[in-house]
Amino acid sequence: MTESSNSNIEVGGLKFRWNIDKGQFLFEEEDAVLFWISSAMKVFFDTIEEISGEEAANLVLEATGFRQGLIVGEYFKKLNASISQVADLIPATYASAGWGKAIIHEINEEKKTLKIHLKDSWENKINKAQGKTSGGNFLPAHYAGIFSGLFGENIWFKVLEKQLEGNEQDTIAYFPSSITVTKNIHKLIRTNESEEINRLEKMVDQQTSDLRKLVRELSSPTIPVLEGIVVVPLVGRYDNSRSNDMIDKTLSSLPKHQARYLIVDMTGLHVDEDTYTASMIEKLGAASSLIGTEMILVGISAELGVMMTNTGFNFSKYQCFHTLQHGIYHALAQDGHRII
């Protein structure tokens, strides 16, 4: 095997080895891989955001960074080094792998707090290539994972300064916290579910409003069939709101048609056990008479007649006929006309 196909170098006490014949690159005897940051890795990040959306993609990277950090923390614990010694090892380890410059300081092992400065990290370079003005949380979460493993307690972070925002470096504070990547994932899921529910509720409200508007427009149309005679067909079930709409719509149209007779066709009316139907007819008849229009009822089934009678409705106030045709004949006869 030639030197060019199998190379070993050591940088800052860390071993790098290539085996070209096997297509293998090892970092500290572990399989590793190299990517161009501002092109290949940028495409990787862009694709995640395109598929998942920016908010979900940020959470994916945050969770991944933290969990990878836990693995690194376990690696350093196996070295049986103190936390301060590990803090001295981390900058060289990550710098040799191209992760940027890291400075770890203000470590308080009793309080389990520290600060980290990151400068020219690969994440910063990717975010800059993406045209972003605010950095991501992969690396801040990654170091939180490392020190969670080292301290044996969940450590979280707060980004105090960001290089992308014009600062010299990223400054991140670390501290014990109940915040975890799992909780953040569940929070995003609940937020997305809530937003989707709100969206669906708004859509349902809008469609319901449109449907009600359509029902009002189509419900109980006022039909002028002959001079002075108007027919209003009642179809379906009438609640209080629909009853009031029908009465208002009918009364406003009677003067326009100079209606002397209002024929209310109840053939398509749904028979219900409530009192809306009887009350609606009584209100319509009383209001019509006040503007000089006589109401005639047609199409009353036996079942509907029994139901309305049981509510106390007085049919004797109105002329009642079995069919619409008979009602129209009656109205014409009152004016001395007939259909030939």
Query: Can you give the CATH number for the domain in which 263 is found?
Result: 3.30.750.24
Question: Does some domain include residue 297?
Answer: yes
**pLDDT at residue 273 in the model:** 58
Same domain, 25 and 124: no
Residue 117's pLDDT band, with cuts at 50, 70 and 90, is very high
Which secondary-structure segment (H or E) carries 270? Answer: none
Region of poorest pLDDT, from 11-20, 86-95, 261-270, 279-288:
11-20
Amino acid at 269: L
Which secondary-structure segment (H or E) carries 288? Answer: helix 276-290
Containing structural domain, residue 301: 220-334
Q: What are the C-alpha distances in Å from 217 to residues 131, 221, 224, 241?
A: 52, 8, 16, 14
Q: What is the pLDDT of residues 180-197, one digit of tens each?
A: 888 877 776 777 667 777
Same domain, 27 and 46: no
CB 159 within 8 A of CB 137: yes
CATH no. for residue 166? Answer: 3.30.1380.20
What is the Cα–Cα distance from 109 to 113, expressed in whole angstroms?
Answer: 7
**pLDDT at residue 21 in the model:** 84
With a cut of 60, say whether residue 95 has pLDDT above it: yes
Question: Which contacts (CB < 8 Å, 24+ apart) does range 317-322 have?
Answer: 317/285, 318/285, 319/294, 320/296, 321/296, 321/297, 322/298
More confident site: 336 or 68: 68
Question: Does some domain include residue 267?
Answer: yes
Please give the model's pTM, rounded to 2 decimal places: 0.57
Residue 67's pLDDT band, with cuts at 50, 70 and 90, is very high
Same domain, 64 and 145: yes
CA atoms within 13 Å, Cβ hemisphere of 205:
6
**For the chain, what is the mean pLDDT?**
87
Q: Per the structure, how many domains does the chain have? A: 3
What is the Cα–Cα distance from 90 to 103, expressed in whole angstroms?
Answer: 9
With a cut of 70, say whether residue 2 has pLDDT above it: no
**pLDDT at residue 215 in the model:** 62
More confident site: 3 or 88: 88
**pLDDT at residue 1 in the model:** 39
CB-CB neighbours of 216 under 10 Å: 15
CB 159 within 8 A of CB 172: yes
With a cut of 60, say whether residue 98 has pLDDT above it: yes
Question: Does some domain include residue 13?
Answer: yes
Secondary structure string (H, E, C) spanning 224-250 = EEECCEEEEEEEECCCHHHHHHHHHHH
Same domain, 152 and 265: no
Question: Does some domain include residue 186?
Answer: no
Q: What is the pLDDT of residues 258-315, one digit of tens each?
A: 999 999 999 988 776 556 788 889 999 999 999 999 999 999 988 888 888 888 888 8
Region of poorest pLDDT, from 52-56, 58-62, 184-188, 293-297:
184-188
DSSP 40: I
Give me the helix-helix angle, 122-129 and 42-52, nearest 10°.
Answer: 70
Sequence-ordered strand ranges (E) for 109-260:
113-119, 155-161, 170-176, 223-226, 229-236
Mean pLDDT computed over 62-86:
89
Same domain, 154 and 251: no
Same domain, 273 and 320: yes
Instruction: Look at the alpha carbons of 63, 66, 72, 73 in this order and tell me if their dihedral is positive or negative.
Output: negative
Q: What are the C-alpha distances in Å from 320 to residues 64, 234, 281, 298, 325?
A: 78, 15, 13, 6, 12
With a cut of 60, say whether residue 38 has pLDDT above it: yes
Same domain, 46 and 167: yes
Same domain, 172 and 42: yes
